[in-house]
């Protein structure tokens, strides 16, 4: 019985660690590269009601939050956890500034999974096209990923999430 209990406890922690690693790999966890030097990650599922799925809160001096002690830093929310970063990047150029807002239809899509250059598609799709979901496959000599495809000449932007 103890071995079975130990197995489930270890399994739970492995699954939680993988979920956390997946979020840290999400560029939104650092506000698309705006912050660096991760200081703290705080679980707080109840904040989804106040902040939704994502929020770049900015700097907070820290203090008690969600039954824990939050550190001073730049706070970014990806439900169900907060990421607290120690530093803001000083570059005047915004990270991912090469992605025009209309590529996500001004927030209709999020979680960019691929940017695929294919200048020849301009003849077929013009300057802009919200193609919608495609399961992926060979496209323009490359392997297109599954997701929501948006054409903004000369790139296809493939998004993982539709609001």
35-44, 79-88, 104-113: which has the minimum mean pLDDT?
Answer: 104-113
Q: How confident is the model at residue 12 (pLDDT cuts 50, 70, 90)?
A: very low
Q: What is the mean pLDDT of residues 1-14?
A: 51
Rounded-to-integer distance, Cα 132 and Cα 110, Å? 13
Half-sphere exposure of 102 (CA within 13 A, CB side): 8
pLDDT at residue 13 tops 70? no
**pLDDT given at position 105:** 86
Please tell me what DSSP assigns to residue 149: E
- Its pTM surpasses 0.85: no
Strands (E) in the chain, as ranges, are 35-43, 54-60, 63-65, 68-70, 73-78, 81-88, 109-117, 128-134, 137-139, 142-144, 147-152, 155-162
Q: What is the mean pLDDT of the chain?
A: 82
> What pLDDT does residue 15 have?
38
Residues 6+ apart with CB under 8 A from 43: 66, 80, 81
Q: List, for residues 54-69, the tens digit of each pLDDT value.
A: 889 999 999 999 999 9
Number of Cβ within a 10 Å radius of residue 111:
16
């Amino acid at each position: 019985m103890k071995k079975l209990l130990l197995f489930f406890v270890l399994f739970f922690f492995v699954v939680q660690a993988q979920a956390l690693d997946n979020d840290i790999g999400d560029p939104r966890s650092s506000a698309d590269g705006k912050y660096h030097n991760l200081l703290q990650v705080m679980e707080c599922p109840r904040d989804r009601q106040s902040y939704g799925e994502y929020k770049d809160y900015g700097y907070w001096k820290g203090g008690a939050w969600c039954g824990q002690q939050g550190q001073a830093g730049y706070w970014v929310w990806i439900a169900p956890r907060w990421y607290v970063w120690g530093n803001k990047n000083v570059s005047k150029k915004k990270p991912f500034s090469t992605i025009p807002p209309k590529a996500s239809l001004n927030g209709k899509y999020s979680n960019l999974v691929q940017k695929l250059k294919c200048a020849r598609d301009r003849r077929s799709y013009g300057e802009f096209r919200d193609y919608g979901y495609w399961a992926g496959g060979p496209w323009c000599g490359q392997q297109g990923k599954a997701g929501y495809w948006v054409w903004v000449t000369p790139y296809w932007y493939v998004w993982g999430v539709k609001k």
